[in-house]
A and B are shown apart, each in its own frame.
Chain A
Amino acid sequence: MTRYLIKKLTTLLVLLLLVSIAVFSVLFVLPGDPAQIILGINATPETLANLRSQLGLDRPFSTQYLEWIANLITGRGNWSINYDMPVYDLIVSRLAVTGPMALMAMIFAVIISLPFGIYAARHQNQPGDVFVMFFTQLGLATPEFWLGILLILLLSVKFGFFAAGGFPGWSTDFWGSLKALLLPAFALGVIRASILTRLTRSSMLEVLREDYVRTARAKGLRERTVVYVHALRNALVPVLTIMGLQLGQLLAGAIIIENVFYLPGLGRLVFQAIGQRDLPVVRDIVLFMAAAVVMVNFIVDLTYATLDPRIRLE
């Protein structure tokens, strides 16, 4: 197991190093000079040169890259051009919005998908199953931003139950902040629940046909025990994998939903930073997103290894 872990960790670090080089190079050659965007289209060449040297954009590629990596390791050295504060603090403050929202969305997705998925599997091809499948189709076809707008129009504008968007901040108003994340998390969760419901159903159907389930039934176990204790645990393995991927994806920022609800989250930050060519911010966030996905995959790998010893030996 230790050897397996070391092997996996080395791959992970090499991968991150490659990602960092790729991210840096792409942004280095990306058209759109940050100084020009800051000073506008009527700026004089001389002012542009002044600003470029102030921002350190006139130094060679390797110097800039090494300094970036050094700053990443030591923490707060990378500074946002526009926000005038460490990128590290920016990411932390944005994660305080995106993180809980992603978790809440996953909770919504699980609460909705598991019962419906199991129900549909147990009533395969009956009206209830068809009904559930119809709604999952609808959910898959619905863009999440559109659902978000509908929720705002109905629950905020018409009934005034919720604010139409924005985020008060955890320290100023805890319950208000929780409430502010409810609608966007619901919009994100419902769409993901559609996928998970279908997955739970098919996985459950497969497991229910296995021999050990027949054995369990033959033993005279109650149907509830068969489904929830024996079948569900195995049926959940593929569902958990997809959930992990979805969580990683949500952590990387739900750019569109954050714009619809004007939440100060990670997705909106990177979206804005790209437009304004705030390169230090773009670089750090893209690397963070890549690291998040890689980490989730790493954890999934470890989980497999614990579940199935054969994987360790390969």
Chain B
Amino acid sequence: MMKKIFLMMVFLALMFPALLAMADTPQKGGNLIVCQPAEPPGLDPTANTAAAIDRVVFSNIYEGLIKVDRNGNFIPGLATKWEVSADGRVYTFNLRQGVKFHNGEPFNAQTAKWNLERAMGPDSVNAHPEYFRGIEKIETPDDNTLILSLKDVDALFIPHMAEGDAVMLPMKGYENAKSNPIGTGPFRFAKWVRGDRVEMVRFEDYWNTELPYLDNVVFKFIGDASAQIAALKAGDIDVIGYIAAPESAMELSKDSSYKVYAGTTTGEVIMSTNNKAKPFDNKLVRQAMAYAIDRQAVIDLVMFGYGTPIGSHWSPSTPYYVDLTGKFPHNPQKAKELLKEAGYPNGFEATIKLPAIYSYSRRAGEVIADQFAEVGIKLNIEIVEWGQWIERIFKKKEYQLTMIGHVEAWDIGIYANPDYYFQYDSQEFRDAYAKALKAPNEEEKAQWFGRCQEIIADDAVNGYLFSAPSLPVMKAAVMNWWENYPTIALDCTEVWWKK
């Protein structure tokens, strides 16, 4: 008897690696239904910054020269490799050969040149023409080589070329990109049922013949958080792609039929502060508020523990991150002392305006109000509609405090603009940022981008709370979904179904 058991165990031990290997071999076929809360306003990522567009089409339908991998590194996309000249101004891209658009048009250096010129032209409606306007000259010595000469060194040029704003459109089929997107990606656009879903099917002529694994991908738009969970449980959808309701994620993580990933994203949730409004123009007041904030409590109460504390305007998933969460640890006593020093021994009253569309923002506002009350700052909460937020808070700067997630990676440059809605004006920061942009090598980039993070943390420009979690929830058989979201995309290229 013992012998039998022993033999069986040996057999199992021998088989185990084989079983594991089998489990890890991607299988082809199948349909995947991905849910995301917001329906994209059009399907052209070069014409609108809405993250909802990138999440559907970027890397699935459209590709750019450069991709971002799961660890945040820049890897070949439509360019197989790129070289930078010694002075950091000339980029030579080797383009992938034999790439076709979904409508059969070839992709080559001419196409790339046309796309870049379109984005930087005077009548460009690209949401970020400034990404491209540093280009002085575009040369195409042959079909597969693209040489870009920049006016000046730009440390963010490669990161920007890896964003949704820099995807490649075909020269003939680009006009209807908003409703009929044509790209070079692994999936071909099939149908957009307005108000319900976007369907895409495998592109048979994809340059990587191994990919994709799935036959069809459907993006379904369900805004209501509890409706999303109900749809997942009823089997109507397979994946909730992006920030499922944290309370439900917690519940589902205990159920073996589902998987929950608590990865990182490029988004920082911050309590934006009007640095020109009284009393927030006083650095001591801002620092006192930084001491009054208990980040972990915010994360626990708002996100049910999902999310990473941050100490500056930089996400842990972006390169050159410096952990500054220790700069202002939670210390109400210290906060009170600083308030006294600033001339507010009895605290003060202020208003925090919270955008109605983001539930995390409303919840975080309430938690912060409670934490501030502890040190004598009384916050009045005002909920504002999104259009109002853009107009009154963002454009006209009619606010004291607000709460919002900044989702774009590499966006610390907003602190260099004194007209930005934080109204932060610091020559020291502008100098450091300029140095970072002009940094010729990795060490100096790390040094100066690190310095930028430190300066705004020291000045406590805003209340830095947490990096938003990726929080996708899916059926257990969905394999190879992204755990972290270092770029704004729900990339299904390498996702497969375990049968």
Contact = CB atoms under 8 A, between A and B. Distances in A.
Interface stretch (B124-132, B263-271, B429-437, B476-484): B124-132
Interface string B16-60: 000000000000000000000001111000011110000000000
Contact of A164 (B48, B126, B178, B231): B231
B411 interface: yes
Interface string B287-308: 0000000000000000000000
A47 interface: yes
Given A33-B391, A36-B390, A38-B41, A44 B231 contact: no
B227 A164 contact: yes
Contacts of B50: 38, 40, 276
A37 B414 contact: no
B41 A149 contact: no
Interface in B165-209: 176, 178-179, 193-196
A257 to B, nearest CB: 10
B391 A43 contact: no
B388 interface: yes
Given A33-B391, A81-B41, A84-B176, A90 B194 contact: yes
Contacts of A54: 125
Interface of A: 30-33, 36-44, 46-47, 50-51, 54, 81-85, 90, 93-94, 149, 152-153, 156-157, 160, 163-167, 169, 259-262, 264-265, 268-269, 272, 274-278
A216 to B, nearest CB: 52
B394 interface: yes
A75 to B, nearest CB: 18
Interface string B201-227: 000000000000000000011111011
A44 B357 contact: no
Interface residues of B, number: 50
A39 B127 contact: yes
B386 interface: yes
Contact of B230 (A40, A47, A149): A149
B194 A32 contact: no
B230 A41 contact: no
Nearest to A272: B39
Contacts of A260: 224, 226-227
Interface centre among A36, A46, A47 (most CB of B within 10 A): A47
Interface in B112-139: 123-130
A288 to B, nearest CB: 16
A84 B178 contact: yes
A153 B386 CA distance: 31
Nearest to B178: A84
Contacts of B47: 38
A54 B224 CA distance: 33
Contact of B130 (A32, A44, A84, A259): A44
